[in-house]
Structure 1
């Protein structure tokens, strides 16, 4: 095994970066100026002096390590995990639907007191927070948290999510010739079954309804989004795949576009029994049709994206139109600087304590994407189009990938029609927060000439 790892390391910088040991000074040097890395941990205190029937392990708790470019790391214990996770669940339930702003504020302030206030004395003049959550905190929109004066964390800091501090040391992909941008939007999913009817599908980019037999209705906003982004980014027709061309097969043939934008239905199956046969890809089966299968299903089969032909599970000779996270992980996205998933729940998945989220978020990292923009809940269709057009405008202007998201969020917070976090807080940036390399940004704006 050691010989094999040595051989792979010789030929793959990415593999070498994943297995080589790293040191604290290496991570510190990679932290941007003005930033603080926050590594949350979910743990159970151990009592080595316990005797006889005394429990050796206490109830789970959360703690966080703070790391700056200079100085020793600081450890802060945050308290009982169950109490924190209960409030996280309550806040998520409150922000996933517009309305009840007062309840959102109370919950956001309570969580800020638990998760952020104990760190304030150590943050100093920091302007950017690099967030590496653990457990249920992976699904928390930290930008929503508010201090006692009602100022959200998104107002106070630029926020970026990481799997761990090791992400800061990921080597940049070698330059390669490829299309600078690929836009996949408004797929033709095919007709819905008459028993369902289109009324069953809300104009939100999610399909957590009828989980035993996933069906996907058209999203008018994605067509408008495609038109707006094509004009803004000056894309050639070959760089925009819509309707019948927005297929699973076409996406699998992609090789490292610098920017990949996917505007379609996303899904995450939270309550699917772990007895679904892998060939079904977690979609299109009625509960009575589920065959016997292994006891444990790969969590990367529980989330994915819908593409052309998904309603009939036919997309060309070999594909079914359901692109699972497992299939996303096998895409060739080495060299992709930015992947934007303009769909709902693309940032969620099965949460594994100490290992992060197993879903599209993890799959894109495995595929080679350097930075991704993903969502944590069902997204309003019209608001998403507005959000994405504004985001790309800021990226083109030279803002960092995280700074651009923050700029859009702050602008929407000032809009009376969009001030509820439901509209502006769903999307998060995961990975490299820096501006796109200028060659990439320039290529995006000149590709249509």
Structure 2
């Protein structure tokens, strides 16, 4: 079925020149019919002091959006027209684009879609002229959303992609991304990425969706940490499909021509309205008219029968093609070079479904849709987590349900590809639970597969080999008690009684181990030494707290804390692995979207360390000691990857073979660590080699 593009049909416009400013509206939708009021706006713009004009523009925009939400659309449009007059009087092109975006949002809320598109296009021209990639991308998102709410997914995808493309270019200048942005956009950037992924999956454009889902992780990091830089992988953005290229070419030609007119227009508008000659006023009106005619021709083009047919063909063609081959082939090549057969799993949580995308070295990306509502998924995640942290509870029911949703739909694909390690980029609340503890009715997933978490394939070097010689710096908080403010409450963190034995066992296994205990284990002493070792083992509390990065921290033995943001200042380019053996997430039972866990993994990568092991809840000290003893006993042989070493250590707790490796089983300690509470908490994030 061809999409309905009637709203972009050519409409007859009456060109209104507001004080020579050239604002264009259809006759039937004039913001106001009071000509004198328009001139008063101009007089007010001139009367305002230079210092107050920006504040006035911002205030008018904010009040207009507030009025629009209260159903006072006409009053809101009048305020925005007033703001527009001031922006042009002042020459504030950036705020002019903001105001046009907000005018578009109000028309959109009134379902006046042609007028909304017109306003967004005006904003697009200005942002393109200014070279503001951040706001240009967000304006493309507004246009994409406008098509989306009219059930025109192909054109929505086309414009959403342009948001992503410009956003990823801007990521090379991370300070630009973190600059405050006015409220002028229908949805956030991460929402744009998420919706784009959803629309692509619905059209079975799986390679493009995988790319979008990967970059979504990067954008989520940006929203949490800010100033997250891009790289040569992220800047590639996403490919424009062959069937989209004629529209892309026409759009670029239109914008380039309109921007050239806009530059002349900007120059003329710098002349005070009172000082403009008749010829200059006429030229301004002509330039505005010419710009609008260019946009009308573009709208007429995308409404033409040939383009309608082409747009309708996009999704059908995309289903048959491996689009975005450059990025996909790079990812496949990375997977193929790993020593164990590996696949990458991307889940995407949507309102009414869980979407799974699996990338293997040999085949096109595989897509499976699981019919489960977000609320039901979240409830099961919560029940699973509660069972995980309480060994007395029956865990197998939620573990089996999550297996049926997350693994069973791709079970045959994993078997066919011979997958041994699953490289996992979890979404939202899935970050709070370990994939290894899912249950298939006979065994835990970890008994079949290793699991290696990543923040994003675009940010992870999957193939950098580990250092051959083990040298360990081991710090431990074993005694004492510190009151730490976590969010809005005080939490007591006590020394870990088994941490001493944990470190002693480690030193017995790895001769080149340096121990720092309690007061000697301080940031001042420990951090400068870390890069002299291949493994940094921290047997101490760490808390990943919902909220700001500053709320999450690592506690040192002397009571000092290093928050999550400051972790990235560590320089660890020679460190292969950082181990935090007593971390905790979801303090107070509060689960967010897991951005603090995603942020921890990324911050560790920023230090230069290849990977990190962290726990999702605070584990019984005896269980931690047993797992770590098994882990270091296995890794010291030098024959296995970190991911496989962790898997085998976890399996050893399930079947009890850890006792053979342990140097010391404390008298009276729990000796059955087969429940996932003891072993499943630990996850590996980053390079799994």
Distance 2:644 2:365 in 1: 25
Q: 1:95–1:421: 8 Å Cα contact kept in structure 2?
A: yes
In proportion to residue count, which structure has more helix?
Answer: 2
Q: 2:400–2:438: 8 Å Cα contact kept in structure 1?
A: yes
Secondary structure of 2:491 counterpart: coil
Post-superposition shift, 1:374?
Answer: 0.8
Q: 2:234–2:458: 8 Å Cα contact kept in structure 1?
A: no
One of 370, 378, 382 as aligned partner of 2:610:
370
RMSD of aligned C-alpha atoms? 3.3
Q: Does 1:24 find its partner at 2:305?
A: no
Matches within 5 A, 1:345-360: 345=584, 352=593, 357-360=597-600
Alignment match, 2:648: 407
Alignment match, 2:566: 327
Post-superposition shift, 1:152?
Answer: 1.1
Secondary structure of 1:82 counterpart: helix
Alignment match, 1:253: 528
Distance 1:115 1:431 in 2: 21
Q: 2:626–2:653: 8 Å Cα contact kept in structure 1?
A: no
Alignment match, 2:682: 427
Matches within 5 A, 1:126-165: 126-148=419-441, 150-165=442-457
Post-superposition shift, 1:172?
Answer: 4.0
Alignment match, 1:445: none
Q: Does 1:72 find its partner at 2:364?
A: yes
One of 213, 221, 234 as aligned partner of 2:498:
221
Q: 1:303–1:359: 8 Å Cα contact kept in structure 2?
A: no
Matches within 5 A, 1:136-285: 136-148=429-441, 150-169=442-461, 172=464, 180-186=471-477, 189=480, 212-235=489-512, 239-254=514-529, 256=531, 257-270=533-546
Label 1:136 to 1:242 Cα distance change in 2 as closer, same or farther (>3 A). Answer: same
Alignment match, 1:288: none
Alignment match, 2:83: none
Distance 1:341 1:258 in 2: 14
Secondary structure of 2:477 counterpart: strand
One of 574, 578, 593 as aligned partner of 1:339:
578
Distance 1:332 1:171 in 2: 21
Distance 1:260 1:192 in 2: 23
Distance 1:4 1:373 in 2: 28
Q: Does 1:388 find its partner at 2:643?
A: no
Post-superposition shift, 1:42?
Answer: 2.6
Post-superposition shift, 1:81?
Answer: 2.1
Matches within 5 A, 1:303-318: 303-310=552-559
Distance 1:400 1:249 in 2: 32
Q: 2:610–2:686: 8 Å Cα contact kept in structure 1?
A: yes
Q: 1:304–1:360: 8 Å Cα contact kept in structure 2?
A: no
Distance 2:577 2:422 in 1: 20
Q: 2:470–2:510: 8 Å Cα contact kept in structure 1?
A: no
Post-superposition shift, 1:5?
Answer: 5.0
Alignment match, 1:300: 549
Which gives a bigger RCO, structure 1 or 2 (Cα 8 Å, sep 6+)? 1
Post-superposition shift, 1:216?
Answer: 2.5
Distance 1:350 1:98 in 2: 20
- CA deviation digits over 1:423-449, x for unaligned, max 9? 111101112222xxxxxxxxxxxxxxx
Aligned residues: 354
Q: 1:347–1:361: 8 Å Cα contact kept in structure 2?
A: no
TM-score by length of 1: 0.71
Secondary structure of 1:309 counterpart: coil
- CA deviation digits over 1:372-428, x for unaligned, max 9? 111011211111111111101111112210111111111111137111111111101
Post-superposition shift, 1:107?
Answer: 1.2
Label 1:169 to 1:42 Cα distance change in 2 as closer, same or farther (>3 A). Answer: same
Give unpaired runs (5+ residues) of structure 2: 1-132, 134-168, 174-228, 237-325, 657-670
Q: 1:38–1:129: 8 Å Cα contact kept in structure 2?
A: yes
Label 1:121 to 1:69 Cα distance change in 2 as closer, same or farther (>3 A). Answer: same
Distance 1:192 1:433 in 2: 34
Q: 2:499–2:625: 8 Å Cα contact kept in structure 1?
A: yes
Q: 2:486–2:545: 8 Å Cα contact kept in structure 1?
A: no
Label 1:360 to 1:346 Cα distance change in 2 as closer, same or farther (>3 A). Answer: farther
- CA deviation digits over 1:75-117, x for unaligned, max 9? 11123222112111100000102112xx201111111111111
Label 1:262 to 1:255 Cα distance change in 2 as closer, same or farther (>3 A). Answer: closer
- CA deviation digits over 1:226-265, x for unaligned, max 9? 21212211135xx221121100222332452321110012
Q: 1:17–1:171: 8 Å Cα contact kept in structure 2?
A: no
Q: Which has the larger radius of gyration?
A: 2
TM-score by length of 2: 0.47
Secondary structure of 1:334 counterpart: coil
- CA deviation digits over 1:176-211, x for unaligned, max 9? xx993211113665x568xxxxxxxxxxxxx89996
Label 1:115 to 1:229 Cα distance change in 2 as closer, same or farther (>3 A). Answer: same
Alignment match, 2:185: none
Distance 2:328 2:596 in 1: 21
Distance 1:411 1:330 in 2: 36
In proportion to residue count, which structure has more strand?
Answer: 1
Alignment match, 2:402: 111
Alignment match, 1:95: 388
Distance 1:382 1:19 in 2: 43
